[in-house]
Amino acid sequence: MRFYHFTALEYLPSILDEGLTRGDVPLGPRKFDNAVWLTRNADPAAQACWAGEERLLTDEERRAHESLYGYPVPPGSRFADKRAVLLAVEIPEDDPKLIAWRSLAKRSGANPKWLRTLRSSPDWFIYRGTVPTDWIVEIAGLSEQAQATIAEFHASGGRLNQKHQPPAE
């Protein structure tokens, strides 16, 4: 069964080495789970409510993250652009690790308002395990930098050239 995974360019090297191993699964405004996030909808605009463009965190967002996670978030911190790269993955339909997000959210006690806020949820799934690299069947860059990096990846026979890798932070 075909699913899509949106990710940031800076996460691509480890995904190509290890597969899809983790992700933020929203269960409420301040409640998250860790699993691989998947969708049946390849349209980046349909992911806007949870995966925005790269930008600096506002002071209010930094304070909220500090409150939620318990450690300071320095000025200049940014959200990664999780819509820069689109991966198409093939997962066996009967794989028990594949779970519809809506059923997980209901079992986890997500409030009805949150469920309504995330209105695209019929397309969302999680995978409770590692999606191996050989299940990744397509890689598409959705930003200019991602397109250049992925073109280099394909031209080099599947290795990212150091000059195109995002800088380490």
Task: Give pTM, 2 decimals.
Answer: 0.74
Higher pLDDT, 14 or 96: 96
* pLDDT tens, residue by residue, 53-65: 666 778 887 787 6
Collapsed DSSP state (helix, strand, coil) of residue 23: coil
Interatomic CA distance for residues 6 and 44, integer angstroms? 8
Domains belonging to the chain, first-starting first, are 2-143 (3.20.170)
Q: Which residue has the higher pLDDT, 95 or 158?
A: 95
Does position 77 have pLDDT exceeding 80, yes or no?
A: no
| Position 163 confidence tier, pLDDT thresholds 50, 70, 90 | very low
Structure confidence at residue 45 (pLDDT)? 72
CB-CB contact of 9 with 84 (8 Å): yes
In 3D space, the residue among 167, 123, 152, 143 whose CA is nearest the CA of residue 16 turns out to be: 152
In DSSP terms, 24 is beta-bridged to 34
pLDDT tens, position by position, 12-54: 888 988 999 988 777 766 677 788 989 998 887 776 655 566 6
Each residue's pLDDT tens digit, 105-159: 778 777 777 777 666 577 889 999 999 999 999 888 877 888 888 888 778 776 5
The pLDDT mean for the chain works out to: 79
For residue 99, give both structure tokens: 């779970």
